[in-house]
Amino acid sequence: MKLIAKDSVDTYEHLPMPAVTIAKENRHYLDDDVLVEAIETWTIDGILIYSTNATITEQIAELESFYANARLDSIELKSDGNTTLDSLTAQALKGIVVESLTFPEGNGPEWATRRKYRIVVSGKYVPTVILTSGEVNYTIIYDTPQSGQLRRTVSGTVKDVAGTATAKYNTLKTTWDSWAPAPFIGANRGTDTNNANKDDTVCTFTLEDTVYWIAFPTGITNGEINTEIDTDSMGVAWCNVTGWFEGSDADCTTAIADIAPAGYTVLTDSTTRNDHTNRTSFTRRYILTAEGEVSSSETLTIKEQLYEFVHKRVLGGGVPIRQDTSKGPFRYTQTGAIRSKDVYPTPPGYNWNVSGLLSEQVTRIAPEFEVGAGNFIYGLQYTYIFEFAITQGWSS
């Protein structure tokens, strides 16, 4: 976001980006198509921050010097370096007037490191006719919410002859319905309300659009997703996803089903629906697996086989001494258990060379039904025994 002001000589870019409120008042005669005047007022609330390149005093002097002329050629609000969200130009009948430049917090210790300021500029001109008659007053506010990139709020009032205010608003509203300022992909409309009085001579309205860091799913107006990934002592990665979506029950259900992280399988799923707030809250637990494996463990054992030993007597008495006379092959055991979702898991491969395989046992355990997740869990246990004449290490 950028705010850039220009006069006939210089250009001033407001850094850091200030908050900008734009109020537009369009006045029409009620009974014909003549637009009498349009008054546009920009209120800029910003802050100057001390840096090694420019002290607060130097920055204040630069700001006051630029706006001291009280006449500007243009002031533009840009979403990036090239795309203009809104602008006030010298096409105004009397140019752009700087109405005030103030420092709301006075002369206290704020001077040392920062300095807040407020600038009000305005222009009066006749733009393209928006309504065929009547009067409209509206305010546009651009700001950056904590959870998004940019938010625009449009609120105001349409006045016209009896029975026409709402229809005139619907015509005016189309100019704000498609808002996707570059480089953003698109905006999500969170508020869209209008209310008319009994005679439909006055219609008040509020529209709020927010560009989020990522796009909301189809039909979702607001939402929050929190993801936590942890690894247990067996090295298995678990993912807990909690949050909520606002939208129809069907749209929320679809959106929740699509949030599964890549490579994870859902184990538990809990949702709560509140139709009064149009919100569905959810809690999901996933495990990192491409095949539905829930858990596994394996134990490797190496044992040296000793055969035939004797106890030699000690001359002069004492405890006999054991002496091994021969020893057999090395014995290796590979044993473990695997639990998998929906199907029996496949027994693992041999840890040692199959040439030494002495025995093999695989036991399949009857499936268990997990009520919360709605899944069957299948278990498998295995034991492989190997013998080799010489040591093989922990794998071969």
Residues in contact with 49: Cβ distance below 8 Å, sequence separation at least 6, in sequence order: 16, 113, 114
User: How far is the C-alpha of 2 from the C-alpha of 123, rounded, in Å?
Assistant: 20
pLDDT in tens, 281-317: 999 888 775 456 677 888 888 887 666 677 788 887 8
User: How far is the C-alpha of 360 from the C-alpha of 348, rounded, in Å?
Assistant: 12
For the chain, list residues with pLDDT below 50.
Answer: 290
Return the domain boundaries, the chain.
2-212, 222-288, 293-388
Q: Which residues pair with 44 in a beta bridge?
A: 20, 119
Q: Degrees (nearest 5) of the Cα angle 233, 234, 238? A: 85
pLDDT for 315 equals 82
Question: Where are the alpha helices (H) located in the chain, listed in sequence order?
Answer: 56-67, 165-177, 249-257
Prediction pTM value: 0.51
pLDDT in tens, 260-277: 777 677 778 899 999 999
Residue pair 1/144 in contact (Cβ under 8 Å)? The answer is yes
Say what the alpha-carbon torsion angle 276, 280, 281, 284 is, to the nearest 10 degrees.
160
User: How far is the C-alpha of 179 from the C-alpha of 185, rounded, in Å?
Assistant: 9
pLDDT for 203 equals 94
pLDDT for 242 equals 92
pLDDT in tens, 94-150: 578 888 999 887 666 666 778 889 999 988 776 555 555 677 888 888 876 656 678
Instruction: Classify burial at 331, counting beta carbons within 10 Å of its beta carbon; exposed 0-12, middle 13-18, buried 19 or more.
Output: middle
221: nearest Cα among 198, 244, 205, 204: 244
Say what the alpha-carbon torsion angle 131, 132, 134, 139 is, to the nearest 10 degrees.
10
335: nearest Cα among 371, 295, 362: 362
